[in-house]
A and B are shown apart, each in its own frame.
Chain A
Amino acid sequence: AQSVTQLDSHVSVSEGTPVLLRCNYSSSYSPSLFWYVQHPNKGLQLLLKYTSAATLVKGINGFEAEFKKSETSFHLTKPSAHMSDAAEYFCVVSAMDTGRRALTFGSGTRLQVQP
Chain B
Amino acid sequence: GAGVSQSPSNKVTEKGKDVELRCDPISGHTALYWYRQSLGQGLEFLIYFQGNSAPDKSGLPSDRFSAERTGGSVSTLTIQRTQQEDSAVYLCASSPGTLYNEQFFGPGTRLTVL
- Which chain A residues have a beta carbon within 8 Å of chain B's beta carbons? 32, 34, 36, 42-46, 49, 51, 90, 94, 100-108
Chain B's interface size range is: 20 to 34
Given A46-B103, A101-B31, 18 extra CB contacts under 8 A = A34-B101, A44-B93, A44-B105, A46-B102, A49-B101, A90-B42, A90-B43, A94-B101, A101-B48, A101-B98, A101-B101, A102-B45, A103-B33, A103-B103, A105-B35, A105-B45, A108-B41, A108-B42
Known: A34-B102, A49-B102, A105-B43. A100 touches B48 (CB 8 A): yes
Q: Is B107 an interface residue (CB 8 A)?
A: yes
A43 vs B103: C-alpha distance in the bound complex, in angstroms? 12
Residues of B within 8 A of A51 (CB): 101
